[in-house]
Amino acid sequence: MTGRDAVDAVRVVDPLAALAGELRALPPSCGPVRLVAVDGHAGSGKTTFAGRLAAALGGAPVVHLDDLATHDELFGWTGRLREQVLEPLAAGRDADHRVYDWTLRRFAGTARVPVAPVVLVEGVGAGRREVRPWLARVIWMELEAAAARRRGEQRDGPELAGFWAGWARAEAAHFAADPSRPYAETRVDGVTGRILTGTVGEPSIRPLTCDITRI
């Protein structure tokens, strides 16, 4: 390989793969697991980015916090997360948590979270105060609240406008009292999916595009 070839090889390193490698190298934070939060405003691209990061990690498990929240407890899921997910993983056991059905308005079914080198937790408030002692890293989706809400409302349609109005108030109150962004060591552009400068480096390949599918 010539010197020019070596330089070109460095330039085409996938930033998502680089982030995955960085996360694997972190000290375990929850028993044998490196627990990584993907946080941000509703509609900012958390689920899409978490899915792509999980793939880059070779199929890392992903805990979706909207499976643990409910209509009556939008941010009251910390006890369920701790008891059903964090404590089993910390003990080196696979976890099983109940899954809330937003249509039936009750818990229905379960999801398994196997012990793995890296486990992702994605959702609004994933990097909150009560969860941070268990976390190896907080990743923040960089998209301001109004833009994220517009995206979410366009995605979900007018029938959920009332839910979004209530959600926006609850989210604003949550982040005012318990912000996650100041604790994020990695930031990701919520529009392009690019890992931002000042975290693991500016990507040199085509930016990832977020196709938002969930809050």
In this predicted structure, the answer to whether residue 122 has a pLDDT above a threshold of 50 is: yes
pLDDT in tens, 141-165: 999 999 998 888 888 788 888 888 8
Determine, yes or no, domain membership for 9.
no
Residue 158: inside a domain, yes or no? yes
Q: 144 lies in which domain range?
A: 14-189
Residue 138 maps to a domain: yes
Residue of 117, 12, 111, 114 lying closest to 57 (CA atoms): 117
Please check whether residue 7 lies inside any domain of the structure.
no
pLDDT at 153: 83
- pLDDT attached to residue 213: 34
Comparing 125 with 209, the larger pLDDT belongs to 125
Task: Establish if 199 belongs to a structural domain.
Answer: no
Instruction: Kindly report the number of other CB atoms within 10 A of residue 170's CB atom.
Output: 13
Question: On the CB side of 200, how many CA atoms lie within 13 Å of its CA?
Answer: 24
CATH number for the domain spanning 81: value is: 3.40.50.300
| HSE-up (13 A, CA, CB side) for residue 86 | 23
DSSP 160: G
Q: Is residue 210 part of a domain?
A: no
Q: Name the domain count of the chain.
A: 1
Assess if residue 102 is contained within a domain.
yes
**Which pair of tokens denotes residue 139?**
């990743």
| pTM score | 0.86
The answer to whether position 206 is within a domain reads no
- Residue 200, pLDDT above cutoff 90: no
| 20 CB neighbour count, 10 Å cutoff | 21
Gap between the Cα atoms of 132 and 47, Å rounded:
19
